[in-house]
Amino acid sequence: MASSSRRACAIAAAIIGMAMTSADANEPALLHAAGSLRGALTEVAEAFAADTGTKVEAKYGPSGTLRDEIAAGSRAQVFASANMEHPQSLATAGRSSPVVLFARNRLCALVKPGLSVTPETLLEIMLREDVKLGTSTPKADPSGDYAFGVFAKAEALKAGSRKALEQKAQQLTGGPSSAPGPAGRSVYGWHVAEGRADIFLTYCTGGLVAQRESPGQQIVSLPEPLAVGADYGMTVMNDSPPAAHRLALFIVSAKGQQILAKHGFSVPALSQGEQR
């Protein structure tokens, strides 16, 4: 099944390639993508440009904010979101192609140096009054929605946890007034390093980036009862040029998926062995 799917992608790419004119090749493919995809899709875009000669013009940000911009008429072609709902809303409105699941992520806890936390003690420590808890902004950024999903799960483990966590969580990123952080630096790691959060619930991939910049910061997996996964969906806007479709196909190709896997994403198009 996987091999036949890949052959179909290859055939579709070849057809689109033949339809391209030289003028198409000179126009960049426009990509709107979740901020958590910046590192992976920047590398994907470079590989795509090397293979096809078509550059990618990318805009990264909170998926909800990007969706709102596209819905309001912002020029867009490929939209890669950190959830399925935002691109699905565009497809449902007749604005874009069917949504494709192209990557998965998980939520982890990014923890400041010196704070002793294990998966088993994470909930207890997040609830401590002296521990500052950071999240992204729900609705604007799916990472915030996923974090609040963790809080909802916590209620089953300890009564009153959901309300306590929702009240204490500082929504530090992803909102319209959120500080962007220094250029080229993980905003999550920056908030932890600056002391605004002792624990930041963010994507595991984002935690890896932050830890590379600040090796003392810890990445703690969520215990199974609190675990929350993230499905990433992609859609292509109606009337997009062939280059945009070629980019979308490249992202779900073996090469694109291997790059995503290298950056810590779980990808549906590759077997577990191929992702190692």
pLDDT tens, position by position, 98-116: 999 999 999 999 999 999 9
Alpha-carbon distance 32 to 35, whole Å? 9
pLDDT grade for 26, boundaries at 50, 70 and 90: confident
Q: 138 and 217 share a domain?
A: yes
29 by Cβ neighbours in 10 Å (0-12 / 13-18 / 19+) ranks as buried
Q: 10 and 146 share a domain?
A: no
Q: 235 and 100 share a domain?
A: yes
Tell me the CATH number at 53: 3.40.190.10
- Which residues constitute the domain of residue 165? 105-226
pLDDT grade for 25, boundaries at 50, 70 and 90: low
Q: 147 and 251 share a domain?
A: no
Q: 122 and 219 share a domain?
A: yes
Q: 100 and 125 share a domain?
A: no
Query: Mean pLDDT for the chain?
Result: 91
pLDDT given at position 21:
41
- Residue 19 pLDDT > 50, yes or no? no
Residue 266 corresponds to which tokens in the numbers above?
A: 């779980």
195 vs 19, which has greater pLDDT? Answer: 195
pLDDT given at position 254:
96
**Three-state DSSP class for 202?**
strand
Least confident residue range of 78-87, 115-124, 204-213, 262-271: 262-271
> Of 185, 211, 226, which residue sits at a domain end?
226
pLDDT given at position 13:
45
Alpha-carbon distance 8 to 147, whole Å? 37
pLDDT given at position 274:
53
Task: Answer whether 268's CB lies under 8 Å from 253's CB.
Answer: no
Q: 188 and 258 share a domain?
A: no
Q: 70 and 119 share a domain?
A: no
Alpha-carbon distance 131 to 121, whole Å? 13
Q: 168 and 126 share a domain?
A: yes
Q: What is the CA radius of gyration of the chain?
A: 19
Residue 59 corresponds to which tokens in the numbers above?
A: 């805009």
Q: 55 and 99 share a domain?
A: yes
Q: 119 and 164 share a domain?
A: yes
pLDDT grade for 68, boundaries at 50, 70 and 90: very high
Q: 204 and 237 share a domain?
A: no
Domain count for the chain, please give it.
Answer: 2
> Of 226, 242, 263, which residue sits at a domain end?
226
> pTM of the entire structure?
0.86
